[in-house]
Structure 1
Amino acid sequence: MKGKDNSVFLISLIVVFSISLWGILAPEGFGQVANGLFAFLTDKFGWFYLLAMFFFVIFMFGIAVSKFGQIRLGDDDSKPEYSYISWFAMLFSAGMGIGLVFWGVAEPLNHFMAPMNMEAGTSEAANFAIYTSFFHWGIHPWANYSVIALALAYMQFRKGKPGLISSIFIPLLGEEKVKGPIGKTIDILAIFATVAGVATSLGLGVLQINGGLNYLFGIPINTTVSIIIIVIVTVLFMISAVSGLDKGIKILSNANVGIAALLMIIALIVGPTVMILNSLTNGLGMYLGNIIQESMKLEPFGDNSWFGGWRIFYWAWWIAWAPFVGVFIARISKGRTIREFIIGVTLVPALGSFVWFAIFGTIGINLGPEIASEAIQVTETAFFVVMKHVPYGNLISMIAVILLGTFFVTSADSATFVLGMLSSNGDLNPSTQKKIIWGAIQSLMAFSLMMAGGLSVLQIASIAAAFPFAIVMVFACFSLLKALREDSVSAEESSKRIAS
């Protein structure tokens, strides 16, 4: 067993280091390959990303309303380990985290100033901006996370299998094949996708924290400050990850939700309140009314560059994050019923995202095209540029910097925990040594690529590398369905025996 642990662990380390070195030593060559591959995939397989993500939404809600919805993730008498608030807080912190603060103002303003097939800066563009942000951060990404999370939680807690992505495929492939090269390859791919995705987000988080400190206190944006931020945050998330789920990660995730709620309440009060509420209502209506058409929308006879740069990019990015977020959500979901799990993981976080984008997107749009144009010049400072023009903007910016720090820590410690699990044959409580090694690697990779100017390239590379994972996830749906049917048949046979 130990040999198997080490083989996945060591091969993963070699792959991650090799990719990192390539990005640092030859950023131009690495960038050309990554950009070329991503351009090819979005151009030729955009339709596949759209269909796959919509399929995940249909599949998840189909399972939720079916007879399988009452099956418990664990023994029939098992109870959830965490309260609803802690559960939502942890899954939301892992699944969105830094991204919400990073894009909460920047994305709606980008759409407002460069809408698809309409005039920029108009009320039509404003409605498009809010609705499009809802679509990109709504039910689709969370249904995508649920595919891996539900299948893994079921195999882990209902069937007693290791907490590895490869365990999901036991119903389709059989246990022996999953223990062999196929299973190891799936687990190594999951580790790479996790490290690359989280390292990119951590790098973006450092840039935004530095940008916020610059706006608030005039602290310079340079390498020295970035190093200090990374060191401080790395120490914090190492302490959190080492202290385990019930202490560090749970407490910080609860703090995240509290700080985010405080930020939204203050912004709602000092911002154009009625306009925000109208925007939220209208955006939800547009979202629900157009979800099927938008899920499969492309320009077959025109220019698809907008879809490639935004929607397909996002769908690929969420798929790249699915192994990490899926494993973490599975780990904290023992004892929930399948129906409760799907509603909790897809609808509740999506509603949180809708409120966030309605508040901060509307505040930015309300300031007009001139300030919107200024804000989107540099994405990591867009939030702070807008808050300069809002009452109590400095207070909101300070709370946002604190939230960035806590989101940074929870994203990193959740990923460290997951990487420890994936490289320890699915151990639900991986060793402190492995968590420290992966934590250090994540921070070093984020910093090295940030200094080499390769963060965006790494993001594109991880998305391109995650393309096979979209196919893996489609098969994961069928594997889960097969297991659920077998579970249901055996339960019916048992009840018949008891009745007779």
Structure 2
Amino acid sequence: MSTEIERSGGPAKGGQSSEPDAEFLGKPRTDWVVFGVTALIMFLVVAWGALATDSLSTASSAALTWLIKNTGWGFVLAATGFVVFALFLAFSKYGRIPLGGDDEGPEFRTVSWIAMMFSAGMGIGLMFYGVSEPLSHFVDPPPGTVPGESEAAINTAMSTSLFHWTLHPWAIYAVAGLAIAYSSFRRGRKQTISGVFTPLIGKKAAEGPLGKVIDILALFATLFGSAASLGLGALQIKAGMQAAKWPIGEAGTNVLVGIIAVLTLCFILSAVSGVEKGIQWLSNINMVLAAILALFVFILGPTVFILDLLPTAVGSYMSEFGQMASRAGATGGAEMQDWLSSWTVFYWAWWISWTPFVGMFIARISRGRTIRQFIGGVLLVPSVVSLVWFAIFGGASIDAQKGGTNVYGDGSAEAQTFAVLDHLPLALVTAVLVMVLVAIFFVSGADAASIVMGTLSQRGAIEPSKWVVIFWGAATGAVAAVMLVIGQDKALEGIQNLTFIGALPFAIVMIFMCVAMLKDLRSDDITVRDQKGVEMLEQAVIAGTEEHDGEFQLVTTPAEPSGEESGSAEADKKE
């Protein structure tokens, strides 16, 4: 993130905020309760995974099974509820309220705003799942839907992929980002999750023990969400090394831990180096490389099939939306429960665990935009990009599978991207390109995530201390290693288990965050002025109807001076 972004805190001129706390813009002060409790939990998890791997694996699997069975419905309802809430705010009277002063314009150009927002939210996930998810749903559709590898399975594969990657995840991000941006830029509070709860629990409680619990949950979720992304990146880079015929043999967790160590060192160095322009440059290069890769697959792959898939995917998504949003394990038995834990509920947990980081990031770059502009941009633009990405990579993989080429293999998600590229020209070049893309996507994203974790640890400081950033960067790598180690041969399962458990408490925080934000919006200056104007107009109409039998018109005249002003005016005349 650039220095400009990191310094964009504090209240705006023309808004209704109070002056920010000195520590908000001054020297960071560590909140030792938030930092210490979260660090202790992290150390316990890492030690447990290192000293008793089988025990942690068994416990996390049992906890996941219980949570999916008993709380999976809550994740499903909450995720759809966030979509409804975001759309309600966009189309309601609150939509024109700015995230800043009344007359303040956007801080960043729309194109730059969209590029930064998207690269922060999903880059590494799209690289990992762009091929594997549509292909997996085509070969093995959700339980009780359609036969695998049928024509109908193509529609189901695309609609399910879009369901997981368009409106729902970005609505989750939008709710958190909007709440933080409004609280900080409109109300002048610290950029912490607990600050959002001020209208609900009061400033004293928000800065007291209850606020610390909220920030601990946010920090805990961010740590495990970032670690999950690092784990996915390590899996894909290892698969890329094997696809490129690098001499790593069938090495398992040792190679993965080594990859994690290198990536962790890279993003720690980037986070503390102060070369923000260099990181931005790398991120922009990465977006260009991703576009080149997509264009390469589109042109040399099944171009017509991909183009046909675009409208088909949108139609399938819209027609199957209700069915997909209502899958909660009530039917389908253990098979449906297993599928939900591997896909829908895992995704909702992963998105929620990323919301403190992505929410704070998109909040920082959205100052001056209205609520309607914010939600429109956050929901629609990334959804369109995801649609195109899945149509290209999912279309290429499905077409190859239909044509008799087994790119699905043994179902290993991290290897399927390379299996598809292997059947196109320049396979070695594109395999290396994918590894580079995954590495830089993660380094640039984790750079910002470690800074956000530092911000949460240091009372909303815009530029946290380097030692805190280094600590959370190393912690992310350690937790990612534990996730992969407890999964053993099924490393992805270890990532899914701990991600879900880490995200559950913060899902509850997000629900109350919506309530707090709505209470804030009801007392906003613009809302109060609008309400007062309506009341005064109604009173004028009632008075006119009663006094003039409905035959009247409303005019404006200079206000009569008050008694004090009248006396002053008379004195002026005498002088």
**How many Å apart are 1:483 and its aligned residue?**
0.5
1:133 touches 1:357 (CA, 8 Å); kept in 2? yes
Asked whether 1:404 is paired with 2:430, we answer no
Partner of 1:275: 305
Between the aligned partners of 2:54 and 2:433, the Cα distance in structure 1 is 37
Q: 1:252 aligns with which of 278, 282, 289?
A: 282
Q: 2:267 aligns with which of 224, 227, 237?
A: 237
2:196 touches 2:513 (CA, 8 Å); kept in 1? yes
**How many Å apart are 1:244 and its aligned residue?**
5.3
Between the aligned partners of 1:302 and 1:347, the Cα distance in structure 2 is 33
Amino acid at match of 1:22: W
Amino acid at match of 1:356: W
1:376 touches 1:382 (CA, 8 Å); kept in 2? no
- Out of 236-245 and 106-115, give the one that drifted further: 236-245
Between the aligned partners of 2:329 and 2:222, the Cα distance in structure 1 is 32
5+ long unaligned stretches in structure 2:
1-22, 537-555, 560-575
Bigger Rg, structure 1 or 2: 2
Amino acid at match of 1:149: G
Amino acid at match of 1:130: M
Between the aligned partners of 1:440 and 1:244, the Cα distance in structure 2 is 18
RMSD of the alignment, in Å?
Answer: 2.6
**How many Å apart are 1:357 and its aligned residue?**
0.9
- Out of 415-424 and 390-399, give the one that drifted further: 390-399
**How many Å apart are 1:493 and its aligned residue?**
7.8
* TM-score of the aligned structures, taking structure 2 as reference length: 0.81
- Find the residue that maps to 1:213 and give its secondary structure: helix
**How many Å apart are 1:425 and its aligned residue?**
0.4
Partner of 2:496: 459
- Out of 102-111 and 90-99, give the one that drifted further: 90-99
Between the aligned partners of 1:411 and 1:3, the Cα distance in structure 2 is 24
- Out of 62-71 and 211-220, give the one that drifted further: 211-220
Between the aligned partners of 1:349 and 1:123, the Cα distance in structure 2 is 28
- Find the residue that maps to 1:160 and give its secondary structure: coil
Amino acid at match of 1:461: L
CA change 1:3–1:349 in 2 (3 A) is: closer
Partner of 1:55: 81
Asked whether 1:359 is paired with 2:359, we answer no
CA change 1:394–1:449 in 2 (3 A) is: same
Partner of 2:126: 100
Amino acid at match of 1:52: A
CA change 1:57–1:245 in 2 (3 A) is: farther
Partner of 2:356: 323
The superposition leaves residues 10-40 of structure 1 with CA deviations (integer Å, 9 ceiling, x where unpaired) of 2221111111211222222222222222222
The superposition leaves residues 430-460 of structure 1 with CA deviations (integer Å, 9 ceiling, x where unpaired) of 2222212211222233235434546532531
Please give the residue correspondences for 1:86-485 in structure 2 after superposition, counting only pairs within 5 Å.
86-116=112-142, 117=144, 118-220=146-248, 222=251, 225-226=255-256, 229-243=259-273, 247-298=277-328, 300-303=330-333, 304-305=336-337, 306-368=339-401, 371-372=405-406, 374-451=408-485, 453=487, 456-485=493-522
More helix by share: 1
- Out of 339-348 and 463-472, give the one that drifted further: 463-472
1:5 touches 1:425 (CA, 8 Å); kept in 2? yes
Between the aligned partners of 2:232 and 2:384, the Cα distance in structure 1 is 24
1:86 touches 1:250 (CA, 8 Å); kept in 2? no
2:29 touches 2:458 (CA, 8 Å); kept in 1? no
**How many Å apart are 1:243 and its aligned residue?**
4.6
5+ long unaligned stretches in structure 1:
none
- Find the residue that maps to 1:466 and give its secondary structure: helix
* TM-score of the aligned structures, taking structure 1 as reference length: 0.93
- Out of 399-408 and 313-322, give the one that drifted further: 313-322
- Out of 213-222 and 268-277, give the one that drifted further: 213-222
The superposition leaves residues 193-232 of structure 1 with CA deviations (integer Å, 9 ceiling, x where unpaired) of 1111211211221221122122124241546654554444
> Relative contact order, CA 8 A, sep 6+: which one is greater?
1
**How many Å apart are 1:246 and its aligned residue?**
5.1
CA change 1:228–1:83 in 2 (3 A) is: farther
Asked whether 1:15 is paired with 2:45, we answer no
Between the aligned partners of 1:373 and 1:101, the Cα distance in structure 2 is 16
1:79 touches 1:335 (CA, 8 Å); kept in 2? yes
- Out of 3-12 and 427-436, give the one that drifted further: 3-12
1:151 touches 1:476 (CA, 8 Å); kept in 2? yes
**How many Å apart are 1:422 and its aligned residue?**
0.5
**How many Å apart are 1:106 and its aligned residue?**
1.1
CA change 1:372–1:48 in 2 (3 A) is: farther
Partner of 2:566: none
2:180 touches 2:193 (CA, 8 Å); kept in 1? yes
- Out of 121-130 and 216-225, give the one that drifted further: 216-225
**How many Å apart are 1:484 and its aligned residue?**
0.8
2:483 touches 2:498 (CA, 8 Å); kept in 1? no
**How many Å apart are 1:53 and its aligned residue?**
0.9
Between the aligned partners of 1:361 and 1:152, the Cα distance in structure 2 is 35
CA change 1:78–1:204 in 2 (3 A) is: same
**Count of matched residue pairs:** 500
